[in-house]
Chains A and B, each alone.
Chain A
Amino acid sequence: MISVVGLRKSFSGVEVLRGIDLSVEAREVVGVIGPSGSGKSTLLRCINRLEEPTAGQVVVDGVEVTGPGVAIDKVRTTMGMVFQSFNLFPHKPALGNVTLALRRVLKVDSAEADDRARRMLERVGLAARADAFPAQLSGGQQQRVAIARALAMEPKVMLFDEVTSALDPELVGEVLGVMRDLAEGGMTMVVVTHEMGFAREVCDRVVFMDGGLIVEEGPPAELFAAPKEERTRSFLSKVL
């Protein structure tokens, strides 16, 4: 479903991704862990080209995202992205957040878009808050609206970038719960996370990044119990 080959990214001469190879099967949930600054966010953002890769190739659902002349706006509708800082549109209520791109990008008519948006909000447990503005919602609720907004586009893959890091501890669970349901429903997901419990229980595979490289990857049971690399071991000993 996702194939990343030889991906490199430099910011003004500093190489932040130094040759990433990663492939993600359909329905697979891949967790990405690693220390701050290791390039996890940059990797995700290169996959939907919010960041322009310096070199390498990204293919998603058979479309070469990095290909010349690719219709990037169209390709992005096949990839949902959820951010650490929610990034809900503050001038629109929850429902309007979900319908905006449905109506303007996918040209779904407004009754149908409302309908679809309400179903998505229901799926994340927020049917009752459809008319609330982001400022009236808790962080956990905002993040669930953001997930509903991405899901409404019916993407092929979902990219999550530390989506619980900005939340109060008591709100983390409700968001992880939604992600767990998604994973069980067969969504293809790449999840950058500091939640080792979530990575262990929900992910099919975990990737450990450090210094712009994938150091080690494997099923969570193996990677957490018996890391092969010294760097993985020292990282895990700090976070577990």
Chain B
Amino acid sequence: MHRLAEEFFNWSVIREMFPGLLTEAVKNTVLLTVASFIGGVALGLLLALMRISRAKALRWPAAVYIDLFRGLPLLLVIVFVGFGLPIGLGVQFPNEPFTPGVLALSMVYSAYIAESIRAGIEAVPRGQMEAARSLGMPYRMAMRRVIVPQALRIVVPPLTNELLALFKDTSLLAVLGTRAGGKEITKYARDFVNGVGNSSPLVAAGAAYLVITLPMLRLVAWLDRRSKAGAR
């Protein structure tokens, strides 16, 4: 019993992880999450609008992209972007793991986010588009000023969910190469384990994730309840 505590809950080992656990690991995880989410939402919104367009030439590339990236394992995409592309194209990503990591996460998450946004757009009553068009708004203006603002509101709960999943999935970026000071939580903890020969840093890493994910889980539940109660 005492041995187990020593091995997994060793406070003196965990204390040594500070301040780097916060100033490097948590900070990088949050940065990776935020950057990937912004990329994912921007690309996802574009894909969703293409997906519902009346122009076939826009619709089907978006559909193919979305199905492709929802069908592939995230880790494979990360490895492909992080190792496959540099080897195949003979280039080197600057600022690892940020550039390849954010790229891979944005690419994959934009596919999921696009589907959420599309569902949100389709949940806006048809009469909204008709009212906007009857006032002389062109399709794009009606989308931008009337439909999308309402869709984004509908989409807050599912997008918060995607954000939570994205936050956890940044841990997969631990497989990528890393410049000095660029480790996210999982890599930081694993390297620490190698250094001290003790598993407690992984437990500390779990705690660091939970400090952020548990409140977010509550937030998602609250948003869900609120959007159900407020449903028109």
Contacts and interface: CB of A to CB of B under 8 A. Distances in A.
Contacts of B149: 91
Task: Count chain A CB atoms within 10 A of each CB in B128, B134, B137 and give the residue with the most.
Answer: B134
B127 interface: yes
A105 B153 contact: no
B148 to A, nearest CB: 10
B103 interface: no
A217 to B, nearest CB: 25
B137 A50 contact: no
B196 to A, nearest CB: 54
Contacts, number: 62
Given A85-B127, A87-B131, A101 B136 contact: yes
B218 interface: no
A87 B133 CA distance: 12
A88 to B, nearest CB: 8
A77 interface: yes
Interface string A145-163: 0100110010000000000
Nearest to B150: A91
Interface stretch (B36-44, B60-68, B138-146): B138-146
A83 interface: yes
Interface in A84-105: 85, 87-91, 100-101, 104-105
A237 to B, nearest CB: 33
A238 B101 CA distance: 70
Task: Count chain B CB atoms within 10 A of each CB in A101, A135, A149, A153 and give the residue with the most.
Answer: A101
25 contacts: A50-B130, A50-B134, A73-B136, A73-B137, A73-B138, A74-B136, A77-B136, A81-B134, A85-B125, A87-B125, A87-B128, A87-B131, A88-B131, A89-B128, A90-B150, A100-B145, A101-B132, A101-B137, A104-B137, A104-B141, A104-B145, A105-B137, A146-B131, A150-B135, A153-B136
